[in-house]
Each structure stands twice: as structure tokens, then as C-alpha cells.
């Protein structure tokens, strides 16, 4: 004979959403604007128009927001930018900040 059991939680369960991280590209005097646009399209999946807008923001304000991601994805994007820039001979840097 099967018995039915009811479970009750004595405390409310709080669901925490994972923290999000903003990824920025930083301006420098050596990286070409075309390379920055290429990075924004290839790594951050921006359209050409979006990439151009963000590139100009980086140029004018010393940094530009590329996207907001979970920690692991943000960290991967920063590493991809660093590797691609180094392989291409540019000092372009990406950073991430908690949202």
C-alpha cells in the first residue's frame, strides 16, 4: 500500500541570480579602428553599425561597453580579445566589471 507524504519547507528559498559582468574595450594610441571594429564583430557578435558606434565611443570616452555576460563568458571574451590583439601586434585591452 502506497503512502502519500507531504513535505513542507520551514524557510522560504531565496533564488539568487548569477552576477553579471560588463566587458569594456579600452582606448589606446596604437590599435587601429578597423581592428577594434573587427574584434567587436567577431568576438562580441555586433553588427557593423553597432561595432562602429562602440569603436567611436571607445575613441572618444577611453572605453566602450561591449556587452554584459555571466562571469565565465565575460572572462572568456576578455581572454579572446587579449589573444587576438597580441597575435595581431596590437596592445588592445579588455576589462570586466561586476554590474
Dihedral sign (CA 97, 91, 78, 69): positive
Give the chain's domain count.
Answer: 1
* Non-local CB neighbours of 3 within 8 Å, separated by 6+ positions: none
- pLDDT tens readout for residues 15-35: 888 899 999 999 999 999 999
Please check the confidence at residue 9 and state whether its pLDDT lies above 60: no
- pLDDT tens readout for residues 39-72: 999 999 999 999 999 999 999 999 999 999 999 9
Would you say residue 13 lies in a domain?
no
The secondary structure of the chain as a DSSP string is: ---------SSPPPPPPPPEEEEEEE--SSS-HHHHHHHHHHTT---HHHHHHHHHHHHHHSEEEEEEEEHHHHHHHHHHHHHHHHHTT---EEEEEE-
Which of 8-12, 26-30, 53-57, 90-94 has the weakest average pLDDT?
A: 8-12
Would you say residue 12 lies in a domain?
no
* Domain ranges, residue 24: 20-98
pLDDT at 82: 98
Amino acid at each position: 500500500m502506497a503512502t502519500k507524504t507531504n513535505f513542507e519547507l520551514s524557510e522560504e528559498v531565496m533564488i539568487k541570480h548569477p552576477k553579471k559582468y560588463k566587458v569594456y574595450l579600452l582606448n589606446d594610441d596604437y590599435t587601429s579602428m578597423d581592428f577594434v571594429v573587427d574584434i567587436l564583430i567577431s568576438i562580441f557578435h555586433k553588427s557593423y553599425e553597432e561595432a562602429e558606434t562602440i569603436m567611436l565611443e571607445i575613441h572618444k570616452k577611453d572605453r566602450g561597453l561591449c556587452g554584459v555576460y555571466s562571469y565565465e563568458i565575460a572572462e572568456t571574451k576578455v581572454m579572446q580579445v587579449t589573444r587576438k590583439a597580441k597575435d595581431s601586434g596590437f596592445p588592445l585591452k579588455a576589462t570586466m566589471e561586476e554590474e
